[in-house]
Amino acid sequence: MLAAGALLVGAGVGCNTDRAAPTDLASDPPASAPVAEVKQASTTDIFTTLGITKPKYSEFLYSSVKDPWTANTAAACNAYDTRYPTLRSCICSNCMNLIHQCDALAGCKEIFQCALDKGCRTPNACYLAPTDGTGCIAQIDKWGTGSVSTALTQELGACMTTANCPTAEM
Protein backbone atom coordinates (compact mmCIF):
# COMPACT_ATOMS: atom_id res chain seq x y z
CA MET A 1 0.00 0.00 0.00
CA LEU A 2 1.42 3.41 -0.96
CA ALA A 3 1.49 6.25 1.52
CA ALA A 4 -0.96 9.09 0.93
CA GLY A 5 0.54 11.57 -1.51
CA ALA A 6 3.06 9.06 -2.86
CA LEU A 7 3.71 8.49 -6.54
CA LEU A 8 4.85 5.21 -8.05
CA VAL A 9 7.80 5.80 -10.35
CA GLY A 10 10.10 3.31 -12.02
CA ALA A 11 11.36 2.12 -15.38
CA GLY A 12 9.72 -1.05 -16.48
CA VAL A 13 6.70 -0.81 -14.20
CA GLY A 14 3.85 -1.70 -16.49
CA CYS A 15 5.56 -0.33 -19.58
CA ASN A 16 8.51 -2.55 -20.45
CA THR A 17 7.74 -3.70 -24.00
CA ASP A 18 10.95 -5.58 -24.77
CA ARG A 19 10.16 -8.43 -22.37
CA ALA A 20 7.57 -11.17 -22.87
CA ALA A 21 4.37 -10.70 -20.96
CA PRO A 22 4.15 -12.84 -17.82
CA THR A 23 1.88 -15.83 -18.09
CA ASP A 24 0.86 -15.73 -14.45
CA LEU A 25 0.00 -12.20 -13.41
CA ALA A 26 -0.40 -13.26 -9.78
CA SER A 27 3.23 -14.43 -9.48
CA ASP A 28 6.06 -12.25 -8.25
CA PRO A 29 8.17 -10.53 -10.90
CA PRO A 30 11.50 -12.14 -11.73
CA ALA A 31 14.45 -11.09 -9.59
CA SER A 32 15.90 -9.17 -12.54
CA ALA A 33 12.81 -6.96 -12.89
CA PRO A 34 13.33 -3.29 -12.04
CA VAL A 35 12.10 -2.34 -8.61
CA ALA A 36 9.74 0.60 -8.41
CA GLU A 37 10.69 3.32 -6.03
CA VAL A 38 8.23 5.33 -4.03
CA LYS A 39 8.65 9.10 -4.04
CA GLN A 40 6.63 11.57 -2.07
CA ALA A 41 4.52 13.89 -4.19
CA SER A 42 6.07 17.30 -4.53
CA THR A 43 4.63 20.06 -2.43
CA THR A 44 5.78 22.71 -4.90
CA ASP A 45 3.44 24.01 -7.55
CA ILE A 46 3.57 22.84 -11.16
CA PHE A 47 5.24 26.05 -12.36
CA THR A 48 8.22 25.57 -10.06
CA THR A 49 8.47 21.92 -11.08
CA LEU A 50 8.57 22.96 -14.76
CA GLY A 51 11.07 25.76 -14.11
CA ILE A 52 8.63 28.56 -14.96
CA THR A 53 9.50 31.43 -12.68
CA LYS A 54 6.93 34.04 -13.69
CA PRO A 55 3.73 32.34 -14.82
CA LYS A 56 1.13 34.62 -16.35
CA TYR A 57 -1.97 33.53 -14.51
CA SER A 58 -4.11 34.91 -11.80
CA GLU A 59 -5.45 32.71 -9.07
CA PHE A 60 -9.19 32.23 -9.23
CA LEU A 61 -10.95 32.34 -5.91
CA TYR A 62 -14.55 31.14 -5.91
CA SER A 63 -15.14 33.21 -2.78
CA SER A 64 -14.40 36.33 -4.84
CA VAL A 65 -17.39 35.75 -7.15
CA LYS A 66 -20.14 38.13 -6.08
CA ASP A 67 -23.81 37.27 -6.42
CA PRO A 68 -25.15 39.59 -9.13
CA TRP A 69 -28.80 39.35 -8.07
CA THR A 70 -30.52 40.93 -5.10
CA ALA A 71 -32.35 37.64 -4.35
CA ASN A 72 -32.62 34.15 -5.81
CA THR A 73 -36.00 34.79 -7.42
CA ALA A 74 -37.41 35.06 -10.93
CA ALA A 75 -38.14 38.74 -10.29
CA ALA A 76 -34.48 39.43 -9.41
CA CYS A 77 -33.40 37.41 -12.45
CA ASN A 78 -35.64 39.42 -14.77
CA ALA A 79 -34.59 42.73 -13.23
CA TYR A 80 -30.87 41.99 -13.65
CA ASP A 81 -30.89 42.26 -17.46
CA THR A 82 -33.75 43.92 -19.33
CA ARG A 83 -32.38 43.95 -22.89
CA TYR A 84 -34.50 41.03 -24.14
CA PRO A 85 -37.46 40.84 -21.74
CA THR A 86 -39.45 37.99 -23.35
CA LEU A 87 -36.38 35.80 -23.72
CA ARG A 88 -35.11 36.67 -20.24
CA SER A 89 -38.49 35.80 -18.72
CA CYS A 90 -38.36 32.36 -20.35
CA ILE A 91 -34.78 31.81 -19.20
CA CYS A 92 -35.55 32.95 -15.65
CA SER A 93 -38.57 30.64 -15.52
CA ASN A 94 -36.86 27.56 -16.95
CA CYS A 95 -33.10 27.93 -16.58
CA MET A 96 -32.72 30.07 -13.46
CA ASN A 97 -29.80 28.21 -11.88
CA LEU A 98 -27.78 28.37 -15.11
CA ILE A 99 -28.47 32.05 -15.83
CA HIS A 100 -27.69 32.89 -12.20
CA GLN A 101 -24.27 31.27 -12.57
CA CYS A 102 -23.72 32.92 -15.95
CA ASP A 103 -24.65 36.37 -14.67
CA ALA A 104 -21.95 35.99 -12.00
CA LEU A 105 -19.13 35.31 -14.49
CA ALA A 106 -17.83 38.05 -16.77
CA GLY A 107 -16.82 35.58 -19.48
CA CYS A 108 -20.17 33.84 -19.56
CA LYS A 109 -22.02 37.15 -19.67
CA GLU A 110 -19.86 38.38 -22.55
CA ILE A 111 -20.21 35.18 -24.60
CA PHE A 112 -23.93 34.87 -23.88
CA GLN A 113 -24.64 38.51 -24.75
CA CYS A 114 -22.73 38.15 -28.01
CA ALA A 115 -24.70 35.01 -28.85
CA LEU A 116 -27.98 36.81 -28.18
CA ASP A 117 -26.92 39.84 -30.20
CA LYS A 118 -25.83 37.64 -33.13
CA GLY A 119 -28.90 35.41 -32.98
CA CYS A 120 -27.02 32.24 -32.03
CA ARG A 121 -28.50 29.75 -29.60
CA THR A 122 -25.21 28.23 -28.42
CA PRO A 123 -21.48 29.07 -28.43
CA ASN A 124 -20.88 26.26 -30.95
CA ALA A 125 -23.27 27.87 -33.41
CA CYS A 126 -21.60 31.26 -32.96
CA TYR A 127 -18.14 29.77 -33.26
CA LEU A 128 -18.39 27.09 -35.92
CA ALA A 129 -21.04 28.56 -38.24
CA PRO A 130 -21.44 32.27 -37.59
CA THR A 131 -24.12 33.82 -39.78
CA ASP A 132 -22.37 37.18 -40.05
CA GLY A 133 -18.86 35.87 -40.73
CA THR A 134 -17.47 36.72 -37.29
CA GLY A 135 -19.96 35.32 -34.80
CA CYS A 136 -18.59 35.27 -31.28
CA ILE A 137 -15.20 33.82 -32.13
CA ALA A 138 -13.27 36.68 -30.45
CA GLN A 139 -15.27 36.42 -27.23
CA ILE A 140 -15.03 32.63 -27.03
CA ASP A 141 -11.30 32.69 -27.82
CA LYS A 142 -10.80 35.39 -25.18
CA TRP A 143 -12.34 33.27 -22.42
CA GLY A 144 -11.30 29.88 -23.84
CA THR A 145 -13.10 27.24 -25.86
CA GLY A 146 -12.86 24.83 -22.92
CA SER A 147 -13.59 27.38 -20.24
CA VAL A 148 -16.30 27.31 -17.59
CA SER A 149 -17.82 30.37 -19.26
CA THR A 150 -18.11 28.70 -22.66
CA ALA A 151 -19.41 25.44 -21.18
CA LEU A 152 -21.96 27.32 -19.11
CA THR A 153 -23.27 29.23 -22.13
CA GLN A 154 -23.51 25.89 -23.96
CA GLU A 155 -25.62 24.46 -21.13
CA LEU A 156 -27.72 27.61 -21.04
CA GLY A 157 -28.38 27.35 -24.79
CA ALA A 158 -29.42 23.71 -24.41
CA CYS A 159 -31.78 24.64 -21.58
CA MET A 160 -33.27 27.46 -23.67
CA THR A 161 -33.85 25.01 -26.53
CA THR A 162 -35.47 22.44 -24.24
CA ALA A 163 -37.69 25.15 -22.73
CA ASN A 164 -38.54 26.42 -26.23
CA CYS A 165 -37.48 29.93 -25.32
CA PRO A 166 -37.76 32.49 -28.13
CA THR A 167 -34.72 33.97 -29.81
CA ALA A 168 -33.62 37.43 -28.78
CA GLU A 169 -35.92 40.19 -29.95
CA MET A 170 -34.17 42.77 -32.05
Average pLDDT over residues 113-142: 82
Report yes or no: 4 and 43 within 8 Å, Cβ to Cβ: no
Confidence of residue 85 (pLDDT cuts 50, 70, 90): very high
Q: Which of 57-66, 100-109, 138-147 has the lowest mean pLDDT?
A: 57-66
Q: Is the pTM of this model over 0.85?
A: no
pLDDT at position 2: 40
Q: What's the CA gap between 72 and 28, in Å, rounded?
A: 60
- What single-letter DSSP state applies at residue 63? G
Q: What's the CA gap between 95 and 155, in Å, rounded?
A: 9
48 or 38: which carries more pLDDT confidence? 48
Beta strand segments in the chain, E = 6-9, 37-40
Confidence of residue 18 (pLDDT cuts 50, 70, 90): very low
Q: What's the CA gap between 26 and 19, in Å, rounded?
A: 17
